[in-house]
């Protein structure tokens, strides 16, 4: 979650939602995802190339989105 307000907003919009958090070593997860991408043909990059590319994309991506403009109801169909 990027904001401490996320949990409160989810509760206001979708009080029936139950959140399950699974913690995993980020490096193990990245390696596993990369191996799957190689198997499915989604990438041909080496793991190192993929990591550097993702780091570059992350630096260029703005995480300062105005979450007040998001209509969270669209993520849960007609229940909202």
| Residue 69: per-residue pLDDT | 58
The better pLDDT of the pair 10, 71 is held by: 10
C-alpha pair distances (Å), 39 with each of 19, 43, 44, 46, 47: 30, 9, 9, 13, 13
- Greater model confidence, 76 or 68: 68
Whether the Cβ atoms of residue 8 and residue 67 lie closer than 8 Å to each other: no
pLDDT band at 2 (very low <50, low <70, confident <90, very high): low
Joined tokens for residue 52: 């550097």
Question: With 50 as the cut, is the pLDDT of residue 76 above it?
Answer: no
Q: Which two tokens stand for residue 65?
A: 């989105």
Structure confidence at residue 66 (pLDDT): 55
Write down the pTM of the prediction: 0.51
Percentage of residues of the chain with pLDDT beyond 90 = 26
CA 6 to chain centre: 14
Q: Judge contact between 42 and 50, C-beta under 8 A.
A: no
């Amino acid at each position: 979650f990027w904001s401490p307000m996320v949990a409160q907003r989810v509760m206001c919009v979708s009080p029936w939602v139950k959140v399950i958090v699974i913690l995993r070593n980020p490096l193990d997860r990245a390696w596993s995802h990369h191996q799957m991408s190689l198997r499915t043909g989604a990438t041909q990059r080496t793991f190192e190339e993929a990591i550097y590319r993702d780091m570059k994309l992350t630096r260029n991506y703005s995480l300062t989105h105005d979450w007040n403009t998001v209509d969270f109801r669209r993520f849960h169909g007609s229940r909202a």
